[in-house]
A = this chain, B = another copy of it.
Amino acid sequence: MGGVKDFGMDVTSRNDTVMDLEGDLEPKMAAPRAIPARPTMKDVAARAGVSLKTVSRVVNHEVGVSPELVTKVESAAAELDYRPDLTASNLRRSDRRTSTIGLMIEDVSNEFSSAVHAGVEDVARLHQVAVLGASVHEDPQRESDLVRALSSRRVDGLVLTPTAGDHAYLERERANGLPMVFVDRLPHGIDADCVLTDNAEGTRLAIEHLIALGHQRIAFMGGLSILDTATQRHQSFIDTMRQHHLPINPAWVVRNIKGTDEAEKVASGFFAESNQPTAIFAAQNMITMGVVRALKLAELQHHVALIGFDDFALADLLDPPVAVVAQDPRRMGQIAAELLFERIRDGKISEELHIVPSRLVIRQSGEIRPV
């Protein structure tokens, strides 16, 4: 249990301030400024010569206040620069909404995540709701800490990309009235609303495109298989190859690749052998970039076909431009947020699954024919 933050130090320093001002004759300037008191409704009421409640009514645009008082209150509020205090308001209001939602994504600075963020923000803005964003960095501990922190801040709901761990613990949060929608990955241990890319279909499109060009020796490079996005893409690769009766060379099916550098090494490994794949399917962003590097190094970028999963900025400016299965992360964020607001509104708990289609973006690297 325990508080979210230890305020001990702050409190002490504040007491010190008070002592300074009362106890001795140091000039006020030397002591840290007291925290300025923000004007409250009470202040506005006093200045406008009305009751507290009337100010509340004006601020909330309730009907039935005489125009005269409305202007009086409004100008008093403007003069004082009064801002309603949402934290107090939420405490009292019957619906207890904070007009704030939490967003937990892999990393705010990663291209995919921040597109999701943008999508969530699009929708949140329409609802006049603020977004508390946080990066999980694939750390289950951090994930649950963040859920705690956001829950303590009484967010109205949560959009999150689950880490690999177990998510049964979220069941209790949800039971306590915290709606949540998952994005990009299916959570484990809880049935909940979820917005996913069509990983299987996207992969199938890419592989069949390569097959249509005549490729038979296709390598698969995948990410961490604890993530089911990675697993789905891998499975779809296997299925598609089998459906087309193509051999799968186990040496060319590498999973659990982490990061650009590792991907580069793996791809370079392929090219060092006499028996080389004629096409590579890179099942994730970072992996694609690693492969691009390796191809360039081996000067094979115009000889080995490459299709990546997930689009990235400038993919079309590389030499050759890199073909990808494009997801629509912004759309995913929008859908997730819309779904969340629906749940917040009707208070229902449900387990809807939204699949956002992925599409093959044809660029030159995907048009290279086998030698």
> A-side interface residues toward B, CB under 8 Å?
1-7, 10-11, 13-14, 32-39, 58-61, 73-74, 77-78, 81-91, 93-100, 107-109, 111, 114-115, 117-118, 121, 128-135, 148-154, 172-173, 175-177, 289, 292-293, 296, 312-314, 317-319, 330, 345-349
Contacts and interface: CB of A to CB of B under 8 A. Distances in A.
A4 B128 contact: yes
Given A108-B108, A130-B153, A131-B133, 16 more contacts: A1-B73, A7-B95, A10-B95, A10-B345, A11-B94, A34-B347, A87-B153, A87-B154, A108-B117, A109-B115, A117-B133, A130-B134, A130-B149, A131-B134, A314-B318, A319-B319
9 contacts: A35-B95, A39-B176, A81-B175, A85-B91, A108-B118, A114-B114, A131-B133, A312-B314, A318-B319
Contacts of A109: 114-115, 117-118, 330
Given A7-B93, A82-B1, A93-B7, A317 B292 contact: yes
Given A2-B59, A348-B32, A95 B313 contact: no
Contact of A3 (B59, B130, B151): B59
Q: Give the oligomeric copy count.
A: 2
Pairs A-B, 4 closest by C-beta atoms: A109-B118, A319-B319, A36-B177, A33-B347
B107 A38 contact: no
